[in-house]
Amino acid sequence: MVIEKSVLPDKFSAGPHGLGDPEDKTLRKVEKEVLIPKLMREKARAEKCIKEVADFNQCCLDSSIFMVVKCREENSIMKSCLTSWYQNDDFKKLCTEEYLKERSEYRKSGVKKSVRRA
pLDDT in tens, 64-114: 888 889 999 999 999 999 999 999 999 999 999 999 999 888 888 877 776
Please state, in angstroms and rounded to a whole number, the distance separating the CA atoms of residues 8 and 16. 15
Q: What is the mean pLDDT of residues 14-28?
A: 70
Q: Which residues touch 13 (CB under 8 Å, ≥6 apart)?
A: 6, 19, 20
Query: Which residue type sits at 85?
Result: W
DSSP H or E stretch at residue 67: helix 67-70
pTM as predicted: 0.74
Residue 13 has pLDDT above 90, yes or no: no
